[in-house]
Protein backbone atom coordinates (compact mmCIF):
# COMPACT_ATOMS: atom_id res chain seq x y z
CA UNK A 1 0.00 0.00 0.00
CA UNK A 2 2.84 2.37 0.87
CA UNK A 3 4.47 1.71 -2.50
CA UNK A 4 1.22 2.58 -4.30
CA UNK A 5 0.93 5.87 -2.36
CA UNK A 6 4.57 6.74 -3.13
CA UNK A 7 4.02 5.96 -6.80
CA UNK A 8 0.88 8.13 -6.87
CA UNK A 9 2.71 11.04 -5.23
CA UNK A 10 5.59 10.67 -7.66
CA UNK A 11 3.13 10.58 -10.56
CA UNK A 12 1.38 13.76 -9.36
CA UNK A 13 4.71 15.54 -8.95
CA UNK A 14 5.73 14.45 -12.44
CA UNK A 15 2.47 15.77 -13.90
CA UNK A 16 2.85 19.09 -12.10
CA UNK A 17 6.45 19.48 -13.24
CA UNK A 18 5.53 18.51 -16.78
CA UNK A 19 3.00 21.31 -17.03
CA UNK A 20 5.01 23.88 -15.05
CA UNK A 21 6.02 27.29 -16.34
CA UNK A 22 8.80 29.07 -14.49
CA UNK A 23 9.48 32.72 -13.73
CA UNK A 24 12.81 34.53 -13.76
CA UNK A 25 13.01 37.97 -12.15
CA UNK A 26 15.60 40.72 -12.16
CA UNK A 27 14.24 42.96 -9.41
CA UNK A 28 12.41 42.59 -6.09
CA UNK A 29 11.82 46.28 -5.41
CA UNK A 30 10.50 49.11 -7.59
CA UNK A 31 9.49 52.74 -7.03
CA UNK A 32 6.98 54.87 -8.94
CA UNK A 33 4.93 58.05 -8.60
CA UNK A 34 1.24 57.86 -7.85
CA UNK A 35 -1.05 58.25 -10.85
CA UNK A 36 1.57 56.84 -13.23
CA UNK A 37 2.51 53.64 -15.10
CA UNK A 38 5.25 51.09 -14.48
CA UNK A 39 6.59 48.29 -16.71
CA UNK A 40 8.86 45.48 -15.46
CA UNK A 41 10.55 42.72 -17.45
CA UNK A 42 10.15 39.13 -16.31
CA UNK A 43 11.53 35.96 -17.82
CA UNK A 44 9.33 32.92 -18.53
CA UNK A 45 10.78 29.48 -19.10
CA UNK A 46 9.18 26.14 -19.81
CA UNK A 47 10.86 22.86 -18.81
CA UNK A 48 7.88 20.79 -19.95
CA UNK A 49 7.56 18.89 -23.17
CA UNK A 50 4.82 21.07 -24.65
CA UNK A 51 4.48 24.73 -25.65
CA UNK A 52 2.75 26.86 -23.03
CA UNK A 53 1.14 30.28 -23.03
CA UNK A 54 2.36 32.56 -20.23
CA UNK A 55 0.08 34.64 -18.06
CA UNK A 56 1.20 37.17 -15.42
CA UNK A 57 -0.85 38.54 -12.53
CA UNK A 58 -0.45 40.18 -9.13
CA UNK A 59 -1.30 39.12 -5.60
CA UNK A 60 -1.10 40.75 -2.19
CA UNK A 61 -1.21 44.45 -1.29
CA UNK A 62 0.00 45.50 -4.74
CA UNK A 63 -2.95 43.77 -6.41
CA UNK A 64 -5.32 45.96 -4.36
CA UNK A 65 -4.00 49.21 -5.88
CA UNK A 66 -2.75 48.15 -9.33
CA UNK A 67 -4.94 49.04 -12.31
CA UNK A 68 -4.83 48.24 -16.03
CA UNK A 69 -2.61 45.18 -15.65
CA UNK A 70 -1.22 44.13 -19.06
CA UNK A 71 1.49 41.80 -20.31
CA UNK A 72 2.86 40.62 -23.64
CA UNK A 73 0.99 37.68 -25.12
CA UNK A 74 3.71 35.08 -25.69
CA UNK A 75 3.98 31.35 -26.23
CA UNK A 76 6.88 29.77 -24.34
CA UNK A 77 8.25 26.89 -26.35
CA UNK A 78 8.76 23.45 -24.83
CA UNK A 79 12.09 22.67 -23.12
CA UNK A 80 13.01 26.34 -22.66
CA UNK A 81 15.65 26.51 -19.91
CA UNK A 82 15.88 29.27 -17.30
CA UNK A 83 18.99 30.71 -18.95
CA UNK A 84 17.04 31.05 -22.22
CA UNK A 85 13.92 32.51 -20.58
CA UNK A 86 11.61 34.53 -22.83
CA UNK A 87 11.39 38.15 -21.66
CA UNK A 88 7.90 39.54 -21.12
CA UNK A 89 6.97 43.16 -20.40
CA UNK A 90 4.53 43.36 -17.49
CA UNK A 91 2.83 46.73 -16.96
CA UNK A 92 0.31 48.31 -14.61
CA UNK A 93 -0.70 51.72 -13.30
CA UNK A 94 -1.28 53.07 -9.80
CA UNK A 95 -3.88 55.79 -9.10
CA UNK A 96 -3.60 58.56 -6.52
CA UNK A 97 -3.04 56.89 -3.14
CA UNK A 98 -2.36 59.98 -1.00
CA UNK A 99 -5.23 62.05 0.41
CA UNK A 100 -5.35 65.60 -0.96
CA UNK A 101 -6.29 68.77 0.89
CA UNK A 102 -9.39 70.05 -0.95
CA UNK A 103 -11.39 73.21 -0.30
CA UNK A 104 -14.73 71.88 -1.51
CA UNK A 105 -16.09 68.49 -2.55
CA UNK A 106 -12.87 67.15 -4.04
CA UNK A 107 -12.19 70.40 -5.95
CA UNK A 108 -9.43 73.01 -5.69
CA UNK A 109 -7.03 70.53 -4.09
CA UNK A 110 -3.36 70.67 -3.18
CA UNK A 111 -0.83 68.04 -2.19
CA UNK A 112 2.04 69.06 0.07
CA UNK A 113 3.53 65.53 0.27
CA UNK A 114 4.46 65.69 3.94
CA UNK A 115 3.75 61.95 4.45
CA UNK A 116 6.26 59.14 4.30
CA UNK A 117 6.29 57.15 1.03
CA UNK A 118 3.78 54.29 1.01
CA UNK A 119 5.07 50.76 0.48
CA UNK A 120 3.08 47.79 -0.80
CA UNK A 121 4.18 44.16 -0.88
CA UNK A 122 2.99 41.33 -3.02
CA UNK A 123 3.90 38.71 -5.57
CA UNK A 124 4.09 38.50 -9.34
CA UNK A 125 2.56 35.21 -10.46
CA UNK A 126 3.59 33.41 -13.65
CA UNK A 127 0.92 30.91 -14.68
CA UNK A 128 -0.04 28.79 -17.64
CA UNK A 129 -2.95 30.49 -19.41
CA UNK A 130 -6.07 28.36 -20.00
CA UNK A 131 -6.00 26.40 -23.26
CA UNK A 132 -8.55 27.37 -25.92
CA UNK A 133 -10.63 24.80 -27.74
CA UNK A 134 -11.47 25.07 -31.42
CA UNK A 135 -14.90 26.35 -30.47
CA UNK A 136 -13.34 29.22 -28.52
CA UNK A 137 -14.36 28.10 -25.02
CA UNK A 138 -11.72 27.83 -22.32
CA UNK A 139 -10.26 24.51 -21.34
CA UNK A 140 -8.52 23.80 -18.06
CA UNK A 141 -8.08 26.75 -15.71
CA UNK A 142 -4.79 28.53 -15.16
CA UNK A 143 -2.41 26.82 -12.70
CA UNK A 144 0.00 28.78 -10.54
CA UNK A 145 3.48 27.57 -11.41
CA UNK A 146 5.87 30.13 -9.94
CA UNK A 147 5.97 33.50 -8.22
CA UNK A 148 8.41 36.33 -7.59
CA UNK A 149 8.37 38.76 -4.64
CA UNK A 150 7.81 42.45 -5.37
CA UNK A 151 8.00 45.45 -3.05
CA UNK A 152 6.53 48.63 -4.53
CA UNK A 153 7.13 52.13 -3.17
CA UNK A 154 4.60 54.72 -4.38
CA UNK A 155 5.87 58.28 -4.10
CA UNK A 156 3.63 61.26 -3.47
CA UNK A 157 3.22 63.76 -6.30
CA UNK A 158 3.15 67.32 -4.97
CA UNK A 159 1.02 70.01 -6.63
CA UNK A 160 -0.53 73.37 -5.74
CA UNK A 161 -4.19 74.29 -5.88
CA UNK A 162 -5.60 74.67 -9.36
CA UNK A 163 -7.82 77.75 -9.43
CA UNK A 164 -8.73 77.33 -13.10
CA UNK A 165 -12.16 75.92 -12.29
CA UNK A 166 -12.93 79.01 -10.17
CA UNK A 167 -11.97 81.36 -12.99
CA UNK A 168 -13.99 79.38 -15.52
CA UNK A 169 -17.01 79.39 -13.19
CA UNK A 170 -16.79 83.18 -12.70
CA UNK A 171 -16.55 83.74 -16.47
CA UNK A 172 -19.61 81.55 -17.04
CA UNK A 173 -21.59 83.46 -14.37
CA UNK A 174 -20.64 86.82 -15.93
CA UNK A 175 -21.65 85.60 -19.38
CA UNK A 176 -24.99 84.34 -18.08
CA UNK A 177 -25.71 87.69 -16.37
CA UNK A 178 -24.73 89.54 -19.54
CA UNK A 179 -27.08 87.39 -21.62
CA UNK A 180 -29.91 88.03 -19.18
CA UNK A 181 -29.36 91.80 -19.37
CA UNK A 182 -29.21 91.74 -23.18
CA UNK A 183 -32.31 89.57 -23.38
CA UNK A 184 -34.31 91.87 -21.10
CA UNK A 185 -33.12 94.86 -23.07
CA UNK A 186 -33.86 93.59 -26.56
CA UNK A 187 -36.89 91.39 -25.95
CA UNK A 188 -39.20 94.45 -26.33
CA UNK A 189 -40.38 95.51 -29.82
CA UNK A 190 -38.11 97.96 -31.63
CA UNK A 191 -40.75 100.70 -31.71
CA UNK A 192 -41.23 100.49 -27.97
CA UNK A 193 -37.47 100.66 -27.38
CA UNK A 194 -37.26 103.79 -29.58
CA UNK A 195 -40.13 105.39 -27.64
CA UNK A 196 -38.41 104.69 -24.33
CA UNK A 197 -35.14 106.11 -25.66
CA UNK A 198 -36.99 109.21 -26.97
CA UNK A 199 -38.78 109.67 -23.65
CA UNK A 200 -35.47 109.40 -21.78
CA UNK A 201 -33.98 112.02 -24.11
CA UNK A 202 -36.97 114.36 -23.60
CA UNK A 203 -36.70 113.98 -19.83
CA UNK A 204 -33.06 114.92 -20.08
CA UNK A 205 -33.87 118.02 -22.17
CA UNK A 206 -36.57 119.09 -19.72
CA UNK A 207 -34.11 118.85 -16.86
CA UNK A 208 -31.63 121.03 -18.77
CA UNK A 209 -34.35 123.64 -19.44
CA UNK A 210 -35.34 123.79 -15.78
CA UNK A 211 -31.72 124.42 -14.81
CA UNK A 212 -31.60 127.44 -17.10
CATH of the domain at 24: 2.60.40.10
Of 182 and 16, which is predicted with more confidence? Answer: 182
Q: Are residues 103 and 62 in the same domain?
A: yes
- Does 118 lie in the same domain as 65? yes
The range of the structural domain enclosing residue 202 comes to: 164-211
**Its pTM surpasses 0.75:** no
Strands 143-155 and 29-33: parallel
pLDDT value at residue 1: 54
Task: Name the domain count of the chain.
Answer: 2
113 lies in the same domain as 183: no
Regarding whether 94 and 171 lie in a shared domain, the answer is no
> What is the 8-class DSSP label of residue 28?
S
- Judgement on whether residues 136 and 182 belong to the same structural domain of the protein: no
Neighbouring residues of 57: CB distance < 8 A, sequence distance ≥ 6: 63, 69, 124, 125, 127
Cross-strand bridge partners of residue 127? 55, 144
- Please state, in angstroms and rounded to a whole number, the distance separating the CA atoms of residues 77 and 49: 9
Residue 12: the pLDDT is 45
DSSP, collapsed to helix, strand or coil, labels residue 115 as coil
Q: Same domain, yes or no, for 106 and 181?
A: no
| Number of neighbouring beta carbons within 10 Å of residue 93 | 16
Write down the pLDDT at residue 109. Answer: 81
Amino acid sequence: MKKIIILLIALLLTINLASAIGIKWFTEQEAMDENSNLCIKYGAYNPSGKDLKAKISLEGEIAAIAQGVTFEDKIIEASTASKDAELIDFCFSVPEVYEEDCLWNGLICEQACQQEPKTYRGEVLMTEAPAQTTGGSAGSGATIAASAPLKLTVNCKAHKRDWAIVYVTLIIIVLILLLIVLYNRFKKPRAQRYKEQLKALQDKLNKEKRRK
